[in-house]
């Protein structure tokens, strides 16, 4: 029997009098024969407001509800305790290594509001500004992922429902394209010949991006004795801010906000309850067109990524490191960067 290929079923509605566009999509879960129950519902609504020929604002909502997501479980997980592990396992004949089982019963949802402003300032300057405010929740964001190897407690799937690993609550992006007012057809140095070849046809572009850091999970040791130490979280201390008042690479997360777990308990910290450093980046580019004929041109591009060459910190260490009361020395510190140092590239393109 051939598997049924999942296919989108779209319903598109437009209200011309109000300019509202609504899209609703459903995707059946993959399987054999008849499609399984609903896997995802995606709704998107947007409305544009045109204030003039040069200014447009668009506001939209996007939401999704997901079911039957694949998650990795340890179906051989023993009961918490400190007695020999095989005496606490439901299937001791399979040994203490556990049974990794892929089960399509995960859930997730996403809700986001976005806004976009497009504006032209005359014939030479164009700007585009966008902002998204969103929240993503699920009970597992990856299979054997760095933070979602398996559920902390396979007997309590609801205990892992929380912030998704890819959650980005706030994201801001702004871009601008400016054509320099020099050369043929421009306000200044409106000449052809060598003047236009040198001063005309230049465009400058900048893209600025700012967003929240990555959602992070804490890491403890295998105090419940399940055989999967990578999945156990720390205990969170109520009333103590997990982030230092002046965080830096030498100390971002406050160890006093956490305690290590003890036998035979799981940690009480929520999944992905921490957030790493914010991400801010600026990219610049300069473009020059050399017109050979009316339909042919040579384009030179100079692009700079991370143009200010500023340091963008990576994620702090969130693993306690052992069963000790005190954490390892690197807990809460940052030893890596997220973005590379400034990169400059040149490109030459012939258009015909």
| Pair 175, 206: CB distance under 8 Å | yes
Identify the domain containing residue 180 by its residue range: 3-351
Whole-angstrom Cα distance, residue 167 to residue 213? 9
Q: What does the pLDDT average to over 38-50?
A: 76
Q: What does the pLDDT average to over 23-33?
A: 38
Whether the per-residue pLDDT at 25 is higher than 80: the answer is: no
Sign, CA dihedral 138-144-149-150, equals positive
Residue 301 confidence (pLDDT): 94
Q: What does the pLDDT average to over 287-306?
A: 90
For the chain, the C-alpha Rg in angstroms (whole number) is 27
Q: Which residue has the higher pLDDT, 33 or 351?
A: 351
Pick from 26, 110, 126, 82: nearest CA to 263 = 82
Q: What is the mean pLDDT of the chain?
A: 86
Q: Tally the domains of the chain.
A: 1
Q: What does the pLDDT average to over 59-71?
A: 92
Pick from 240, 287, 231, 291: nearest CA to 261 = 231
Which CA distances in Å does 333 have to 70, 147, 328? 33, 18, 10
Give, in degrees to the nearest 5, the angle at Cα 311 between 308 and 313. 145
| Pair 242, 297: CB distance under 8 Å | no
pLDDT tier at 339 (50, 70, 90 boundaries)? confident
């Amino acid at each position: 029997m051939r598997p049924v290929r999942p296919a989108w079923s779209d319903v598109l509605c437009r209200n011309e009098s109000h300019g509202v566009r609504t899209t609703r999509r459903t995707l059946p879960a993959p399987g054999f024969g008849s499609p399984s129950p609903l896997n995802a519902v995606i709704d998107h609504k947007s409305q544009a407001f045109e204030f003039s020929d040069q200014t447009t604002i668009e506001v939209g909502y996007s939401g999704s509800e997901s079911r039957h997501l694949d998650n990795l479980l340890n179906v051989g997980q023993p009961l918490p305790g400190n007695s020999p592990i095989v005496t606490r396992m439901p299937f001791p004949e399979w040994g203490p290594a556990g049974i990794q089982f892929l089960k399509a019963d995960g859930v997730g949802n996403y809700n986001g509001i976005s806004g976009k402003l497009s504006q032209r300032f005359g014939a030479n300057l164009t700007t585009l500004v966008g902002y998204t405010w969103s929240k993503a929740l699920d009970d597992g964001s990856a299979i054997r992922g760095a933070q979602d190897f398996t559920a902390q407690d396979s007997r309590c799937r609801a205990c892992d429902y929380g912030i998704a690993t890819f959650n980005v609550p706030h994201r801001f992006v702004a871009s601008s394209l400016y054509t320099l007012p020099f050369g043929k057809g421009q306000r200044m140095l409106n000449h052809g010949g060598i003047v236009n070849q040198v001063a005309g046809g230049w465009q400058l572009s900048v893209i600025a991006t700012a967003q929240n850091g990555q959602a992070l999970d804490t890491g403890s040791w295998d105090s419940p004795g399940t055989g999967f130490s990578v999945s156990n979280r720390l205990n969170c201390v109520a009333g103590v801010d997990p982030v230092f008042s002046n965080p830096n690479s030498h100390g971002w997360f406050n160890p006093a906000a956490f305690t290590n777990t003890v036998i035979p308990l799981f940690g009480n910290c929520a999944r992905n309850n921490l957030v790493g450093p914010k991400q801010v980046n600026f990219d610049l580019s300069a473009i020059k067109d050399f017109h050979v004929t009316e339909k042919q041109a040579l384009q030179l591009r100079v692009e700079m990524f991370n143009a200010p060459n500023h340091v963008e910190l990576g994620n702090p260490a969130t693993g306690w490191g052992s069963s000790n009361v005190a954490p390892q020395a690197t807990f809460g510190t940052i030893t890596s960067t997220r973005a590379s140092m400034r990169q400059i590239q040149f490109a030459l393109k012939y258009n015909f």
